[in-house]
Amino acid sequence: MGKTKSLQQLIVGKTKQAVGEIIGDQDLHDDGKAQAAGGRDEQDKPVELDPLKKLKQLT
């Protein structure tokens, strides 16, 4: 998963968590918390740096 996708997952998860807390929906809150944690875990992974990766795929 890319950094952009994991950031999106983190934001959507935090939003679900907040909305769940505001409207009193514990399931939505818990789902958002889990989704945000998944996005956070992906953000913390080291980035693979290989500038020639696409060039190698073409050859």
Name which of 9, 7, 14 is nearest 47 in CA terms. Answer: 7
Whether the CB-CB separation of 59 and 39 falls below 8 Å is answered with: no
> Predicted confidence band at 40 (pLDDT cuts at 50, 70, 90)?
confident
Count of the separate structural domains present in the chain: 1
The pLDDT tens digits of the residues spanning 4-26 come to 888 899 999 999 999 999 999 99
Range of the domain at 8: 3-58
Burial 9-30 (b: 16+ CB within 10 A, else e): bbeebbebbeebeeeeeeebbe
Q: Is the pTM of this model over 0.75?
A: no
